[in-house]
């Protein structure tokens, strides 16, 4: 039988979904939209196979966003390619029934078989909430069960009732009489819901104080921002410091594997394809897995705890100045590690336009793949001097590059709002601040696992094919036998590089740089290795110092600065572009991102190069 989960945001829908289905989940997108479709499977005590779809959270069936339209269409049985649900589970946070009971009254009009699930019933009981379940079920005219999604036994009742409903002769022939409620009807259903609650639920004399106490500090205008800054600091430390040993391990493993292939197979196309195309290409992306896991661990922990909505509250006005939604804050922050999890995390923004703006600017945040490029050029060209007595010049340049990324992101967001969506006023900030809850570790582990799986699947498909393409460009046609020059100089990449060189001459790039930019499309830091290849330097990462020395003799300072400016904006990351295409559901936004970033990169380099040359650095 087919079941669907419906509930308001923060009703604990997802933890109930996880409790019912465990790891038997499938995450995909609904056709044509960017809404995530989560389906899981379980077996009832009587051995009935059941599929369960976790529908996007909603307060009503009006469908005011693509997510909510999915929920409405699915419940009404209008969703393309979806079987209408045999049973709709309406999930309520037991400590807060008002909004869900109203939603349930609306759901009743669709004529579907319904069951109300009072989730987190243990918390409600502990707070002194008591519910007359039999009476509530009678007044609502639907079966009511309680559940404690964190405990296995907590959902036994729900499973048993599901069997009972499945065995009953299908009485779901009731007509669908649902239509969009008018404001008068909304008022009336809310009053009806309040009347039912008054008759069946007794609220504690003293409400839970924990949330109020925590909020007194966390939402305090000064202390709150300090706490937010502290959380971000820890998060950054974790992403950069904790992930590093694991990333080194992965990176060493991949180069070891590459070396093994190199030593085992005879020199030739297959060897080069496996070592340089497959292993180092896919490896250069998989290296970021530890960072992605840590970021999602933090995001899911904060979300589950209930802090995310508070962060949005604190940042709303500050982000709003640049035309961004308060919820865009965490995705943008994640993009400092890697734009891919950042873009994936924009799913917390429910308004499509706000979400697109965030996706478009996320790649401008200085991701960790730029760090190798920045480090290489800075250490080769910027003297290790102190300025103003105590500031390290190299550190200052690095800081400047980060600041330039952030400033331009805010600027671009402002321009997007101004030029593209001037006629659409921004979605108002209206957000429920849920009560704090202890994070459910199992649920978080599942969430992290799902994200990591998605990332690896992508690395195995889209990114893999990109890598193969780039390897092909850098390897064909092959050099004539006995040549001393590096093979890449004869390849399509070199042909493209030479062809594009005149375009890049005004920004001070020589043809070698342009050639290195082609494989650099795979991932930004690959450009470092590619520069090494073009300048015929042997060796892996250890050779980075050596590459720097060579570059220092071959490039002018103006060229180096121009390349730094280029990398602030460069749209050079095939994986990010692939993720943008996937998340926005079309090529259009990917092309737009590529074009505007390319234009910005070119303009910034042109400006930097010419100013530097004028100042005598040419």
Count CB neighbours of 456 within 10 A: 16
Interface with other proteins (CB under 8 A), residue total 46
Task: Pick one of 309, 359, 367, 516: the residue that binds other proteins (CB under 8 A).
Answer: 309
Nearest to 566 by CA among 603, 537, 613: 603
**What is the spatial distance between Cα 361 and Cα 328, in angstroms, rounded to a whole number?**
10
CB of 240 or CB of 305, closer to other proteins:
305
429 is a contact residue toward other proteins (CB under 8 A):
yes
Element (H, E) at 512: helix 511-517
Task: Pick one of 191, 213, 453, 554: the residue that binds other proteins (CB under 8 A).
Answer: 191
At residue 237, φ and ψ (nearest 5 deg) are: -55, -45
DSSP for 226-239, written as a single string:
HHHHHHHHHHHHII
CB of 56 or CB of 143, closer to other proteins:
56
**CB under 8 Å to 462, separation ≥6 — which residues?**
575, 578, 582
Please, how many CA atoms are within 13 Å of residue 196, restricted to the half-sphere of its CB? 22
352 is a contact residue toward other proteins (CB under 8 A):
no
Q: Which residue carries 């090529």 as its tokens?
A: 587
228 is a contact residue toward other proteins (CB under 8 A):
no
Nearest to 446 by CA among 114, 9, 17: 17
59 is a contact residue toward other proteins (CB under 8 A):
yes
Sheet of 87-93, strand order = 25-29, 36-43, 49-54, 2-7, 87-93, 114-119, 144-146
Q: What is the token pair recorded at 65?
A: 């966003």
Do residues 432 and 309 lie in contact, with contact meaning Cβ atoms separated by under 8 Å? Answer: yes
396 is a contact residue toward other proteins (CB under 8 A):
no
421 is a contact residue toward other proteins (CB under 8 A):
no
**What is the spatial distance between Cα 47 and Cα 41, in angstroms, rounded to a whole number?**
12
Task: Pick one of 151, 317, 498, 554: the residue that binds other proteins (CB under 8 A).
Answer: 317
Task: Pick one of 95, 280, 335, 368: the residue that binds other proteins (CB under 8 A).
Answer: 95
119 is a contact residue toward other proteins (CB under 8 A):
no
Closest separation in Å from C-beta 68 to other proteins = 11
21 is a contact residue toward other proteins (CB under 8 A):
no
**What is the spatial distance between Cα 416 and Cα 360, in angstroms, rounded to a whole number?**
9
Residues 161-190 that bind other proteins (CB under 8 A): 181, 183, 186-187, 190
Helix (H/G/I), strand (E/B), else coil: 6: strand
Closest separation in Å from C-beta 528 to other proteins = 42
60 is a contact residue toward other proteins (CB under 8 A):
yes
CB of 140 or CB of 521, closer to other proteins:
140
305 is a contact residue toward other proteins (CB under 8 A):
no
**What is the spatial distance between Cα 531 and Cα 250, in angstroms, rounded to a whole number?**
23
349 is a contact residue toward other proteins (CB under 8 A):
no
Task: Pick one of 134, 212, 387, 503: the residue that binds other proteins (CB under 8 A).
Answer: 212
Q: What is the token pair recorded at 33?
A: 């939209």
Task: Pick one of 395, 426, 439, 585: the residue that binds other proteins (CB under 8 A).
Answer: 426
109 is a contact residue toward other proteins (CB under 8 A):
no
Q: Which stretch binds other proteins (CB under 8 A): 69-77, 216-224, 531-539, 584-592?
A: 216-224
Q: How far is CA 127 from CA 37, 130, 203, 213, 450, in A?
A: 34, 9, 9, 15, 33
Task: Pick one of 250, 432, 469, 552: the residue that binds other proteins (CB under 8 A).
Answer: 432
78 is a contact residue toward other proteins (CB under 8 A):
no
Closest separation in Å from C-beta 63 to other proteins = 12
Q: What is the token pair recorded at 368?
A: 């960790």
Sites of contact with other proteins (CB under 8 A): 59-60, 62, 64, 95-96, 98-99, 102, 181, 183, 186-187, 190-191, 194, 203, 207, 211-212, 215, 219-222, 224-225, 309, 312-314, 316-318, 424-435
């Amino acid at each position: 039988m087919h079941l669907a989960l419906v509930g308001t945001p923060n009703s604990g829908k997802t933890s109930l979904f996880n409790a019912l289905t465990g790891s038997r989940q499938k995450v995909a997108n609904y056709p044509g939209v960017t809404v995530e479709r989560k389906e899981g499977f379980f077996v009832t005590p009587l051995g009935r196979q059941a599929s369960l779809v976790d529908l996007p959270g909603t307060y009503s069936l009006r469908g005011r966003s693509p997510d909510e339209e999915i929920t409405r269409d699915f419940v009404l049985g209008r969703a393309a390619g979806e079987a209408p649900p045999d049973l709709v589970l309406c999930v309520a946070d037991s400590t807060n029934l008002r909004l869900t009971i109203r939603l349930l009254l609306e759901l009743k009009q669709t004529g579907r078989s319904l069951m109300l699930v009072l989730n987190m019933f243990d918390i409600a009981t502990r707070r002194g909430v008591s519910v007359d379940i039999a009476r509530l079920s009678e007044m609502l005219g639907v079966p009511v069960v309680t559940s404690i999604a964190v405990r296995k036994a907590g959902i036994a009742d729900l499973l048993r009732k599901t069997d009972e409903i499945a065995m009953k002769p299908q009485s779901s022939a009731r007509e669908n009489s649902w239509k969009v409620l008018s404001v008068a009807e909304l008022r009336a259903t809310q009053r009806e819901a309040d009347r039912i609650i008054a008759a069946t639920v007794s609220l504690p004399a003293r409400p839970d104080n924990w949330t109020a106490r925590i909020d007194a500090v966390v939402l305090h205008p000064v202390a709150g921002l300090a706490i937010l800054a502290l959380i971000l600091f820890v998060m950054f430390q974790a992403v950069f410091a904790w992930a590093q040993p694991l990333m080194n391990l992965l990176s060493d493993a991949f180069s070891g594997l590459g070396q093994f292939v190199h030593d085992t197979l005879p020199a030739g196309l297959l060897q080069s394809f496996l070592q340089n195309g497959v292993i180092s290409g896919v490896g250069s992306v998989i290296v970021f897995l530890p960072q992605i896991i840590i970021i999602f661990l933090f995001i899911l922990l904060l979300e589950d705890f209930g802090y995310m909505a508070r962060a949005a509250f604190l940042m709303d006005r500050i982000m709003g100045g640049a035309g961004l939604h308060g919820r865009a804050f965490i995705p943008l922050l994640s993009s400092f590690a890697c734009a891919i999890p950042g873009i994936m995390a924009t799913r917390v923004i429910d308004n499509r336009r706000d979400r697109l703006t965030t996706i478009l600017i996320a790649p401008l945040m200085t991701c960790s793949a730029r760090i190798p490029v920045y480090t290489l050029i800075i250490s080769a060209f910027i003297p290790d001097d102190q300025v103003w007595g105590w500031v390290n010049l190299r550190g200052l340049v690095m800081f400047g590059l980060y600041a330039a990324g952030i400033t331009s992101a805010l600027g671009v967001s402002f321009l997007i709002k101004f030029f593209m969506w001037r006629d659409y006023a921004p979605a108002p900030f209206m957000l429920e601040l849920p009560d704090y809850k202890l994070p459910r570790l199992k649920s978080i582990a599942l969430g992290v696992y799902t994200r990591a799986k998605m990332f690896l699947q992508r690395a195995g498909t889209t990114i893999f094919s990109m890598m193969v393409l780039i390897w092909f460009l850098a390897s064909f046609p092959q050099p004539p036998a006995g040549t001393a020059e590096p093979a890449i100089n004869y390849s399509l990449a070199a042909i493209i590089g030479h062809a594009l060189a005149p375009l890049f001459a005004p920004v001070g790039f020589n043809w070698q740089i342009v050639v290195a930019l082609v494989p650099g499309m795979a991932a930004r830091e690959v450009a470092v290795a590619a520069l090494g290849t073009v300048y015929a330097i042997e060796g892996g990462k250890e050779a980075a110092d050596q590459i720097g020395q060579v570059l220092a003799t071959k490039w002018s300072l103006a060229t180096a600065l121009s390349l730094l400016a280029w990398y602030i904006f460069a749209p050079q990351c095939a994986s990010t572009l692939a993720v943008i295409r996937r998340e926005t559901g079309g090529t259009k936004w990917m092309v737009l991102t590529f074009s505007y970033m390319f234009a910005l990169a070119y303009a910034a380099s042109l400006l930097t190069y010419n100013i530097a040359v004028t100042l005598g650095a040419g």
